[in-house]
């Protein structure tokens, strides 16, 4: 009962801080991008996302990263993750900031959200319209070329949409395949995100006293692997990490 009361009391304070950070950093992003370009704007975005993520302390949220130290910085990386909420993007930016993560997001996120929409549009990410499959594939392949040339990373959520109940949905291999075609030297990093409880009710009330965990699993060299089997294997690895699949099911 106390936890529920705190959730109702503290959620407005958290949302106020979250919104203020987005509003404050939006013009700062625009200004730094205009004057100095990507390198300085990226530092601003990193600070902004650090503030967005750790303002969850207002809700008594514990935040932990595991396995990030195993991610290489001298080659392109494809981060393949389950998807639970908008907080996933914030946490990936913070955890993988040295890898310059870019996102494959739905086109709707490209407008209407201060700072976030601007960053997605101007930070090298790809906004896809799921109704235009051919163009989406082309855009994702362009992102693959970008990370191949720069040794940056691309984050993809192959479930397609956020989970509504915390359970990982079926991974679709098409996006991973499109990235691999144009980023052949990339390594794949499965990422298990465990924080559904925080926003299980949406934006109000958010849940007090949760643990937001991001676990980067062992990198996978995808060369020569069947991509459909690879997507299934990554899905199983993430489910196992989240306790949604047994070792026997993963390795029959």
pLDDT, residue 179, reads: 96
Which band of pLDDT confidence, cut at 50, 70 and 90, is reported for residue 246? Answer: low
Q: How confident is the model at residue 160 (pLDDT cuts 50, 70, 90)?
A: confident
Of residues 189, 100, 188, the one with CA closest to residue 146: 100
For the chain, domain boundaries = 2-250
- Residues 60-94 have pLDDT tens digits of 999 999 999 999 999 999 999 999 998 999 999 99
State pLDDT tens for residues 97-143.
999 999 988 888 888 999 999 999 999 999 988 778 788 899 999 99
As a whole number, the mean pLDDT across the chain is 93
pLDDT in tens, 195-244: 999 999 999 999 999 999 999 999 999 988 999 999 999 999 999 999 99
DSSP for 71-129 reads: S-SSS-EEEEE---STHHHHHHHHHTGGG-EEEEEEGGGGSSSTTHHHHHHHTT-EEE-
pLDDT value of residue 252: 43
Q: The domain at 2-250 falls in which architecture?
A: 3-Layer(aba) Sandwich (3.40)
The position carrying tokens 């934006």 is 203
Q: Which segments of the chain does DSSP mark as H helices, in order?
A: 2-35, 38-54, 87-95, 116-122, 133-150, 174-182, 227-241, 247-250
């Amino acid at each position: 009962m106390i936890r529920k009361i705190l959730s109702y009391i503290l959620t407005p304070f958290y949302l106020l801080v979250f919104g203020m950070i987005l509003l404050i950093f939006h013009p700062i992003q625009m200004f730094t991008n205009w004057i100095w370009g990507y390198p300085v704007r990226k530092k601003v975005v990193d600070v902004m996302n650090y503030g967005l993520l750790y303002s969850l302390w207002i809700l008594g949220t514990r935040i932990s990263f595991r396995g990030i130290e195993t991610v290489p910085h001298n080659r392109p990386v494809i981060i393949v993750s389950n998807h639970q909420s908008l907080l996933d993007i914030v946490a990936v930016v913070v955890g993988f900031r040295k890898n310059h993560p870019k996102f494959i997001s739905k086109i709707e996120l490209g407008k209407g959200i201060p700072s976030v929409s601007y960053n997605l549009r101007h930070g090298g990410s790809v906004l896809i319209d799921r109704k235009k499959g051919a163009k989406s594939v082309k855009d994702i392949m362009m992102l693959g070329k970008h990370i191949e040339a720069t040794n940056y990373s691309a984050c993809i959520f192959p479930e397609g949409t956020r989970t509504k109940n915390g359970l990982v949905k079926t991974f679709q291999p098409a996006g991973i395949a499109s990235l691999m075609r144009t980023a052949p030297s990339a390594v794949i990093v499965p990422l298990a995100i465990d924080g559904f409880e925080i926003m299980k009710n949406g934006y109000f009330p958010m849940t007090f006293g949760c643990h937001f965990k991001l676990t980067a699993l062992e990198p996978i060299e995808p060369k020569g692997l069947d991509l459909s089997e690879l997507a299934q294997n990554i899905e199983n690895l993430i489910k196992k990490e989240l306790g949604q699949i047994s070792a026997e099911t993963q390795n029959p």
